[in-house]
Structure 1
């Protein structure tokens, strides 16, 4: 977590730009957060940080021709927007400033307590941004799950996927895994989370209107907990048609009160993890259809070569012993060499491309 202890402040001289109304670009408290913030531009206020200091700046990625509104915590906060290097002041003012770039660029967003470039550690400061555009991709919020605040497993009655902390706390599985759900039936969703913080909450969004944004009526709060499995029910609205929908699952180190609908793209909470999947919303299938979709493998018992029929329907093949230890894991293929496996009974797990899985016992002779 960000260190909020007050350090011993060294005496320094602040440069004052108020007389020429150019802005304040001294930053005794440095850069925060460390990553470049990329706005979603859905027309809502997006918090770059809710736990910043004055005398500090953030880096933000801007797109050409989009109008951006930058805002501080209170009216007296003095804001300065510069180029990426901090050499050229683009705009400055109190509380709210507006800027529309002529080209794609990265800027620095400075905040001070007043136009005399004041800074302190007495109050936490918010830096937020607001913009509107037509998005063509989903935002990728950067979080930190390395301390244990990670999503370890996502499962329903028809789907299970295990994972570890992802790079930068975000990973998009939507092209790999489909979470199946039946038309007008609730989804019994379980999310296993690690032990990262004493307060952790899981939120879910499903982009029903497919506009690359996560809106209030697409939000579900699943629950809170740490080092446990959080269970909840996702009720799909009656008007939703059969099809595929982008689904976001987010773990953040906050209480339920702060796990609000507008945090799908948020990076200010800093710790946690976000995983995206594709929801496959479909009609229930009959027993005969389920049987027809099964992937067959043979022989059983097996001596050296395991043959996989319809292997192109399978994403990953995992062989474990009876206590769950992974013995072999491979991408799907027509033949798997198991000659070196010791004799005994194993479990073969087929992770299907449609998000389902098949398990059965395998005898190695």
Structure 2
């Protein structure tokens, strides 16, 4: 005869409500006419880990004797304090699948079995992680209760804790839904369920061997690189890869099956049809297989195996619409290399803008980079012709010539550190003599500056290329409307010639009108950007000038202009606010960039 305290004792026990936590207690589910009394005070703590039952009693037949699920088949006896830690025992599961579970219980009084899985691994069994009751309970006899547990399709690979609980609830009470409940006769056992990554399947057969024999190294510049255009099926190519870089492997036939394997050809790393993306975790070599289908078939059908990685070079730097304008990067339709429309000689042209805010705009100099094949280097190129052209309206130079400067000799020749095809490169500076361009007050005006060699021997072997961060390269696609087919000349190692870069740096002097809050133009200033001396003109007398940095701090400069000049030579590069107080107290402020 079991000795359990009468239910009458409950009447003399105080009832208390405590805040819910991982250790909070659910209401008591008494056994038939008897219940276990917890004489210890109930305290509520924030859990540092999974709640562990400390006051369950399983030595009266209210115990778990076997749990079988997902490869686990564990036979046990009553655990100390009603808790058994079997997390070292693991079962294998997959997301989106359902698994049968059976729990064998003792001959206790009206046993019901509950189960939980901590799917978010936060060490708390939450309401949505309750799997419900396993089976429909037992009545004072050893029973095996069965059911199914469903694994959500969103569960990621990893390890998850499974909790199984048996409790004597009584015939009219539901299964326990609180995973931390420990005020009853029963037992809790914890296990580990593991969601393993799905191993990729693929084809590592290659009856046609390796082709080509050399290992391919992608440029990783965002462009597709053809490993071979005469690939066969049931064949592989080797590719050098870099850790952390994403590679896209593809075939010219989008129905072919692709497998990416390790260098030895013993393990599948990724697979798919038509195109496969793979990111290696270590530097090394991979095999790129192509087959007719996932059946690893196919023989000699010719196709292309390609790989792509990295991002394209950044687009050209947009014009800054100021006096100093620098163009670098890959030329496009707005940074053209073209043919001199007037004289049919070769030239390189870049666009630049005259800001609509300007009162005057004067070209001071232009810098550009060249490669020289002449025996004496760039010093053999004695002069250049410079043309300023109107825009065509289609992002190309127009036929209208604003001005022509012939026979301009370099004012500076700088040898650059990089070379092209073992040939020296140079930066040339030409003085343009403060040529003033028309200003359109309504819109920014696009002009083109074109540089042309003046020697017939130089022009005869022109090759026009461009340079960006990875070095000097050629590209007929950026040279003329007909893709360079009629006039592009190859690099010659014997004939002297001039080779232009697609980068130009234009220095100009802008006189920009300052506009007051009321919109009236009383003050003009130039140049902007300024190197040393800023000239400020006004229709009214300028009484005082103050200069502030972008943070609003006043700069230590004289408050009076000297012959309309403000000395900014000792100021750090940056943006400054020039505040002028005019005769009559009117204030006009404007921004200036200090170089």
State the TM-score, normalized to the length of structure 2: 0.28
Which structure has the higher relative contact order (CA within 8 Å, separation 6+)? 1
Q: Which has the larger radius of gyration?
A: 2
